[in-house]
Structure 1
Amino acid sequence: MVMPIPTRKAVLWNAHAGSITHARELEQQLRENSEIGLYSTASGRTLDQLIEQAFADGFQCFIAAGGDGTASTVAGRVYAHQQSFPDPEFSLGILPLGSGNDFARTLNSPLEPLAAWEAIEQGSLIDCDLLQLEADGQSRVALNMFTAGNTGKYLENLTEEIKARWGPLCYLRGVVDVVANLQVYEGQIEIDGQKIEGESWLNLFVANGRYSGGGQEVAANATPLDGTLNLLAIADGPPTELVSLPASYFRGEVPEHPLIHTSRGKSVTINSQEPWPCTTDGESFKASLIHIRVIERALKIIQPQPQSLPSGASSSAITSGAEMSQHTGKTISSHP
């Protein structure tokens, strides 16, 4: 049964998102639409304050208009509100206006604002998983991706000025800067309670969606519909083994390699003596004890129905859990 999308929508508009200057025409259209409540951070209010106001105004469908950080924040608040108030049912849509827009890519959303909005209007509601993180005692929810190691490190060096100037290319710029000076992070990694081999790591991804860093596919089989998370961990090793890794890795490929571990499960735990630099959906922090679990069917999300697909996207919607059951995760032992 296809669930209809509510006509009334609250649009949470991040006026500081990386690609916001390309969305002025859409912004004006939304302001003129009587079915739309446009809540913009340009008012001086925080995103959290705007979300609370939208709930108070009686909206049940919330559109996160911004980047991955905006989408993750709105998803977390909608999920929390749904837990406290299970009736009526709330829903979430993603309008990609950021620098990376990685979860929108997983949804096969167009990245041009007007086309993305049309795809939302023509879309349908589906059940979506979330990631629940406990990092040094602090709880947070992620929609798309948790990263740690060098991948988290380069985001620390990206100023808002660089993001605004380079737009979607800013992540590539950060990657190029950090690859020449990779740092090794010591720690133990477990998936579903089972320790994986190795204690010296370069990068780690826990994926609900497929993409990270502005469209780099790091988990081709990841889907937010199947009740599992995907782990990709890259171990340290001698230069002779590392020399071929960055080029293929940053092309979005996951080659069979003795330093790469991939698997699928319900939870991942990282335990280290020193804090690792981490990100969740583009927001950076540091932590040494991290537990991540999948929250199955956490909320209703709008699956956009684009008139034409974005460059490089699949011709079908995101893979369903039934389709994913045909695949099995592979584990490649690491030898640091």
Structure 2
Amino acid sequence: MLSEKANRCIINTMDYEGDVLLTIAIPTYKRFDLLKETLRSVFANDFKINIEVIVVDNDPDNDMLALQEMKEFERFQFKYYKNSENYGMFGNWNQCLMLAKGKYITLLHDDDLLKDNFSSTLDISRLEKDDFVAFNCGVLDERTAASKPRTHLLYSFIKKFYTRVREIKHKRRRVIDIKTLFFLNVFMGTLAVVFNRDKAIAIGGFDEGYYPVADYHFWSKWIVKFGTVYIDPEHVALYRIRENETMKQQTIDAFIEKDFQLREEICRNVPVMKAYAKYTNLLKQRDSMLFNFSWSNNEVKHKKNVINILKYFILRVRCAIFFTLR
């Protein structure tokens, strides 16, 4: 059962105490340069509904530094919470759920950005009907050339092909059921997703035992419990890629293994998915090549040569065929 953990509010410029329809919650940890960019993107939006903006800082110390860094935003309405201890990444996401006052919530990571069309694109009438709306995101790749995996002409060609196919598909509303999520993790964490806060709490929030894919696990729980969701075609946010925890080989390996464990769990616990258990190993192979080609600089273990790239292409095609024929 989720519960609010010890914290203190060190900034509260809110002058509205009525019902809040939407909370924009920003979990953060020692990244004031990025956090300020994120806040600027939020306050650039013109909301016509009652919202609250909360920052939930997982660093229990450095209060004076936080107050100093936030002076830029003293004319805006928001709350800044400090956790009494570091509760971990997904523990902090759960803290955001508990501290939010809105009927609906979106979790905005402290390195990502809302575009200024987010507020105008958000369809409140549909949100109140479905308790869930999601949109597309762009990518802001700020990795240095040295930190990016080495390119290969054949791989670049295949990547451009799949990118073009994805762009065509994303121009229309996408239907996301549990089978789709099983084959494709279609969400960028929680970015550009607005959902009912009470329902999120009811399914237990984010399970820290599924680090680093607790968000993927959360969406699978949501769809199993509440049914099919949809992703609308508008781009309303930017997903930032930098040299961070995701780049580490240990984290990449954990992504692959936890994705595999989650798919096995889905097959065990969701009756309509039992027949898909035979694909879990194939999808693990695909994920291993995809994640390492996209993120890892370990050229010895994951070398981009013609043979490996062709293996990857064949895996992608096989998975696409099995998904289409499902």
Would you say same fold, with TM above 0.5?
no
Structure whose residues are more often strand by fraction: 1
Q: Given the two structures, how large is their TM-score scaled by the length of structure 1?
A: 0.24
